Amino acid sequence: MADFYDHVKIYIKAGDGGNGCISFRREKYVAYGGPDGGDGGHGGNVVFVIDEGTNTLLDFRNRKKFVAKNGGDGMPAKFHGATAEDLIIPVPDGTVIRDAETGKVIKDMSRCEPFIAAKGGRGGWGNRHFATPTRRAPRFAKNGLDGEAKEIILELKMLADVGFVGLPNVGKSTLLSMISAARPKIANYHFTTLSPMLGVVSVDDGHAFVAADIPGLIEGASEGLGLGHDFLRHVDRCRLLVHVVDISGSEGRDPIEDIKMINEELRKYSDDLADRPQIIAANKCDILDPDTEEETKARLEAFAEELGYEVVYISAASGVNVKPLCRKVYEMLQELPPLTIYEPEYEEVIEEPKQPDEITATKEGDTWVVEGEWLKWLMSGINFDDRESFMYFEKMIREKGIIQKMRELGIADGDTVALYDLVFDFVD
């Protein structure tokens, strides 16, 4: 399985916004140039795009962290910081993006436009935005906002109309090689196919469908035995299953028992998958024992009729009835619903900006430790060594109810308060 990679957890982070600039216009003969700090640029988004040339997530084997560039900081003379380029991540068609924590579908990257999975942070304002008639030289600016970050799971579910299922060595790979340009490994032993193989099958009048050879189904596959557990997900989208069985019993097995066993594994994995329409491709019909051929076919047809399946007798190796099987598959596909595209289940929680008075106050010894997201954001742009900047901070925490909220939380005059790096005696 070294050549196939179809399930991986990665970390993505969009770029942070650039910081606003603190600057003042200085020109000869201009006495009061005023603030001219430019705004920070926006951080880059993390964008997933479909790469038609790949069918595996192998590129993610050795790289699990993807971080977009940050926006440029603002500059003097009202120059805006550079907006960072988006980080483009190509994935195969059919890749499902899930939230790592909940497992819910964020986006099904199947025949779709590029998708922004993490948005870059906005750039911060330069000091020119904070000039007022009474505050003509603001010596503070705003920092940029952080870009979104999350852990996600990439899960490849191949886009195939038809899935070939069955025990190892029944002829699935041979059949796919006969009806398409796919070239899976073929040999007379089990588990020669170590990864799902896709092939485009052409039928009459230029019509076609996509078939997938799903390897490694054995008893216990749904519980991780063999290779089937790893690849059952690739049958999820298939609208029709072609159940390939060895009708000749060349390995001493009963084809009816084989069908029952594989269907049971499909049901353990998913009831919906087990209920998909099926065609039984009774392979190796050309080497049936003439003495038991009639009885074997009669038993299989009676069993198939009970389940509502059709039986087509084929020989994948010699090509017997292969074309009629393809036509039958195509005809059935015309009556079935279109390929499954998974709807998003994960709702991005757009957090409302925290209210200024949403703070916490915890007493540690003789000091009240006060914290809050809005408060932290406000303090990130304050220059506490500058009198006007500090006055702006004091004005904002009064106007936004921070002082009142602190009183409600039990802080009294004379108490020592720590607002992050700022420690002071509380006096209203």
pLDDT digits (tens, 9 = 90+) for 15-56: 999 999 988 887 776 656 788 999 999 999 999 999 987 878
Domain hosting 14: range is 1-157
Percent of the chain with pLDDT over 90: 45
Let me know if residue 341 belongs to a domain. Answer: no
Over residues 180-186, mean pLDDT? 61
| Same-domain status, 186 and 255 | yes
At 190 the pLDDT is: 42
Give pTM, 2 decimals. 0.72
**Count of helices and strands (H, E) across the chain:** 9, 18
Q: What is the pLDDT of residues 284-333, one digit of tens each?
A: 999 998 988 999 999 999 999 999 999 999 999 899 999 999 999 999 99
As for how many domains the chain has, the answer is 3
The CATH number of the domain holding residue 52 is 2.70.210.12
Pull the structure tokens for residue 156.
């490849």
Of the pLDDT bands very low, low, confident and very high (cuts 50, 70, 90), residue 191 is very low
Same domain, 265 and 318: yes
Residue 183 — pLDDT band, cuts 50, 70, 90?
Answer: low
Residue 188 scores a pLDDT above 50: no
Residue 7 phi/psi, 5-degree rounding, is -155, 120
Q: Residue 342: inside a domain, yes or no?
A: no
Q: Provide DSSP, 154-177.
A: EEE----SEEEE-STTSSHHHHHH
How far is it, in rounded angstroms, from Cα 98 to Cα 233?
14
* 135 and 173 inside one domain: no
- Does 114 share its domain with 212? no
Q: Does residue 350 form part of some domain?
A: no
Whether residues 137 and 40 share a domain: the answer is: yes
Q: Can you give the pLDDT at residue 73?
A: 95
Check: CB of residue 163 under 8 Å from CB of residue 242.
yes
Does 180 share its domain with 117? Answer: no
Asked if 68 and 16 touch (Cβ cutoff 8 Å), the reply is no
The reported pLDDT for the residue numbered 249 is 84
Task: Using the CB atoms, write b or e for 317-348: b if 16+ within 10 Å.
Answer: beebbbeebbebbbebbeeeeebeebeeebee
Domain boundary among 320, 335, 350: 335
Q: Do residue 137 and residue 190 come from a single domain?
A: no
Q: Residue 252 maps to which CATH number? A: 3.40.50.300
Residues 200 and 328 in one domain: yes
> Which of the listed residues 300, 335, 370 is the one where a domain comes to its end?
335
- pLDDT tens readout for residues 284-294: 999 998 988 99
> pLDDT class for 187, splitting at 50, 70, 90?
very low
> What is the pLDDT at residue 253?
86
Checking if the pLDDT of 166 tops 90, the result is no
Please state the length of the chain: 428
**Domain match, 284 and 380 both:** no
pLDDT tens per residue, range 206-255 = 788 989 887 756 555 445 544 455 667 778 889 999 999 999 988 888 99
Last residue in a domain, options 132, 157, 182: 157
User: pLDDT per residue over 65-110, tens digit each?
Assistant: 999 999 999 999 889 999 999 999 999 999 999 999 999 999 999 9
Residue 353 lies in a domain: no
Mark whether 221 and 257 lie in a shared domain: yes
Whether the pLDDT of residue 171 is over 50: the answer is: yes
